[in-house]
Every structure is written in C-alpha cells, then in structure tokens.
C-alpha cells in the first residue's frame, strides 16, 4: 500500500475516534463512527487476498447496519423527547435499539459472529487496531449513555459473551481467532461492570488495550499466526 494513502487512513482513523469521543450530539457521534469504518476498510483489505476482501465486506456490512441502528435510535429518541444530546437518551424503545446497536458494533454475543472472521482475515497490525482503537468510540458512547441503557439486555449479553468467549477460544488453533474470542470475553466483563461502575469499565478497557497491544506486537515480530508456529518460534527468536 502507498505510504501516503496509509497515512491518510490512519489519520482518518484517529480523527473519527476523536470526533465520536468528544461529541455531544448524536449526528456528530455517528459521523465519527462512519469515518472510522471507512478508514479501516482499506487497511483490512490491503493484502488483496480473497480472505481479506471477505473480511472487509463482512466488517462493512455489520458496521453499516449497527450505525444505521444508532442513527435510528437517536432519531426516534429526538422525535419523542426533542433532544439530540447523547446523555439524554431516555425513550425506552430508543434505549433498547441503541443497546443492540452498540453490542453489534463491539461484537458482543449474539452479534459476535463477524469479529473472529474479520480478525482472521486481517493482518496482525490491523487486527490490533480492530481490537483496540475501533472499540474505543462504541465503549465511550456506552459510557456516556450508561444510565439509560437496557440493563437486563446488557447483563444477558455480557454473561453470554464472557461464557462463549472463553469456551470458543479453547477450540481454536488460529492465534487471531483465539485473540478475537479473548476480546469478546473481555468486552463481556467490561459490559457487566458498566452497569455498576462506568469509570471502572474505562479503566478495564485501558488495561485490556495495553495487554492486547503487547500480545499483537509480540506475535507480529515473530510472524506467528498459528499455535504450531508459536510452538516452534522459540528456536528462531528466544526473546
């Protein structure tokens, strides 16, 4: 990939994240999410491998559907309350739709199917961005609306995510898929903490980001993609 193009996509990624995190208006938050989605797509499909193209398509369709649900929930809330403020999400139907939309964006169970597939089709560096940077805007929106989200739905999805993330990860030999299920499990824990203490969720997310970055960068330096490669990699690079 052209270095200039890569730089533009990375800057767009940072810009989209910054817009969503700092916005107070639903339309601005949605714009940031869209910029993020469009910036990461070329980075997923840069290898031109059919698997990478498939991953980019799956990612685009899922994120577009989730963004449409975010927009629909904010519009229906504005229709009922006359408020476009993110923290003023009060209409019950809007809260339920938004909870489902944000779960789809993050990859919580039962909307988790896309995440292992997309991560498996992406390079390790892009996978790191997908597992950390791309999770920050939705988690921030969850943090800002934590008081008005559908608690029962959120708890159910969180428990299912922690359980399924752990179980499905045991069954994998592909490292990227193991990391994807690990991410789903971590997000389940973050979601269940969010109901009781939102600030603790953000702390959990920062710790998760540091651990995931360490894992991805170490695997990237060893070029390890399978468990079998990882087992023999100590002979090549003991450190």
Q: Where are the domains of the chain?
A: 3-225
Query: What are residue 25's DSSP bridge partners?
Result: 85
For 29, 37, 103, 198, the CA distances from 26, given in Å and listed in that order, are: 5, 17, 17, 20
Contacts of 44 (CB under 8 A, 6+ apart): 52, 55, 56, 59, 118, 121, 122, 126, 130
CA distance linking residue 190 with residue 204, whole number of Å: 7
CB count in 10 Å sphere of residue 29: 24
CA 110 remoteness from chain centre: 14
Measuring CA to CA, which residue among 87, 80, 69 is closest to residue 30?
Answer: 69
Q: What is the pLDDT along the chain (239 residues), one digit of tens a residue?
A: 889 999 999 999 999 999 999 999 999 999 999 999 999 999 999 888 999 999 999 999 999 999 999 999 999 999 999 989 999 999 999 999 999 999 999 999 999 999 999 999 999 999 999 999 999 999 999 999 998 898 999 999 999 999 999 999 998 999 999 999 999 999 999 999 999 999 999 999 999 999 999 999 999 988 888 988 888 877 777 66
CB count in 10 Å sphere of residue 91: 19
3-class secondary structure for 85-128?
A: EHHHCCCHHHHHHHHHHHHHHHCCCCCCCHHHHHHHCCCHHHHH
Alpha carbons within 13 angstroms on the beta-carbon side of residue 88 total 14
**Coil, helix or strand at residue 150:** coil
CA 103 remoteness from chain centre: 9
């Amino acid at each position: 990939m052209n270095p200039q193009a890569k730089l533009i996509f990375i800057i767009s990624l940072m810009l989209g994240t910054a817009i969503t995190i700092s916005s107070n208006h639903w339309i601005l938050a949605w714009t940031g999410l869209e910029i993020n989605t469009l910036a990461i797509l070329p980075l997923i499909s840069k290898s031109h491998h059919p698997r990478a193209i498939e991953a980019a398509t799956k990612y685009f369709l899922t994120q577009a559907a989730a963004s449409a649900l975010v927009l629909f929930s904010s519009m229906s809330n504005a229709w009922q309350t006359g408020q476009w403020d993110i923290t003023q999400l009060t209409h019950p139907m809007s809260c339920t739709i938004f909870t489902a939309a944000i779960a789809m964006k993050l990859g919580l169970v039962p909307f988790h199917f896309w995440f292992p597939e997309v991560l498996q089709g992406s390079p390790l560096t892009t996978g790191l961005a997908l597992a950390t940077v791309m999770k920050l805007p939705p988690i921030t929106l969850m943090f800002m609306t934590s008081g008005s989200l559908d608690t029962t739905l959120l708890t159910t999805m969180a428990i299912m995510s922690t359980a399924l993330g752990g179980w499905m990860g045991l069954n994998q030999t592909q490292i990227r898929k193991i990391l994807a299920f690990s991410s789903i499990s971590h997000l389940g824990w973050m979601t269940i903490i969010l109901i009781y203490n939102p600030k603790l969720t953000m702390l959990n997310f920062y710790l998760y980001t540091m651990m995931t970055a360490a894992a991805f960068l170490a695997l990237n330096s060893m070029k390890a993609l399978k468990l079998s490669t990882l087992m023999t990699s100590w002979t090549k690079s003991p450190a």
